[in-house]
Structure formats: structure tokens, C-alpha cells
Amino acid sequence: MASFAANAQLTKVQTYEYLRSKFAETVDITIPLNSQLTYTVNKIKCMVDPISSRRVILNFERAFSNNTSDVVEYSFDPTHIAEVTTSPTSASSISYINLKFNPKTLVTKRIGTETIFISGQVLSVPYLSADKLNAERLQKAFMHLKKLYEESKGKDPFVN
């Protein structure tokens, strides 16, 4: 696992790696989806979108208790993050980090071959809340990523 110094100014790639490492802490932990179905995360990716370098991809491979599986992939522009909050699950060691976006933001959610475009919604990702500092760390990491993208947008006079 990569080492991250306190107060370091991480690059985009280092921030992706940090987020991936924090989300990877949930791999193989049972997470309740609803009262009858649970899932485990098998693999996680956090990276720049290869189609649009101004977007981030969060990708999760999930295996469900009913012996099915899927891959969920979110793609979004981090400069549109309005708020980062948390919410609990019924599993004591897992919570969700929630990314709330500006009202007209387009977030792409792909499950398998189906692509859904969601606007003005919240994207929720499981994280290990047994470590009480993880919520603050993830909030700071997403806001840092937002800042890095805002700074890079400012360098191009033709970017909206």
C-alpha cells in the first residue's frame, strides 16, 4: 500500500491511489444492500476516465448473497461535488461516503451493460467506518481532488 505523508500535496494520481486504498478496506466484508440481500466488494478502481480526462471513475465489482454479481461504475466531474457526507449501514463496521453534486451535474452510472445518467443525485460508496478517522480522511481526499481539478480547469481559458 502506498504511503501518504500528513499535509502532503498529493497529485491526482496519488489521490486516486489513496481513495482506492481506503475503499479497498471494504473488500471481502459483507455489506447489507437491503433486509434480504448482502454483497461483498471484490475489486475496486479509482482513476481518471480514459474518455474524458476531466472526469473520475469509481468502479466496484460486487458479489451478492444470491450468487449473482455485477460491476458498478460511476463517472463524474469532481469539480461539481457540492458536499461530502456519511451515512451508516446496518453493518457496524461499514458506512457510506456520499458525494452530493451541484443540481445540474451529470453522473454516469453503469451496471453491467446498462448506462444510467443521473442528475442532481447522491453517489454512495461503502467505506470502513470501524476506523473512526476514515470519514474525515475520505471527505478531505474528495475535496482535495475537487481542488486539483478546479486548478487544472483554470489553466485552460477555453474550458467552461
Q: Span 40-45, mean pLDDT?
A: 92
The span from the CA of 60 to the CA of 62, in Å, is 6
Closest CA to 152 of 10, 18, 53: 53
Do the Cβ atoms of 53 and 148 come closer than 8 Å? no
* pLDDT tens-digit readout, 102-141: 887 888 888 878 888 877 678 899 999 999 999 999 999 9
Sheet holding 122-128, edge to edge: 81-88, 94-101, 122-128
The span from the CA of 8 to the CA of 2, in Å, is 13
The whole-model pTM stands at 0.84
Do the Cβ atoms of 1 and 16 come closer than 8 Å? no
Amino acid letter, residue 92: S
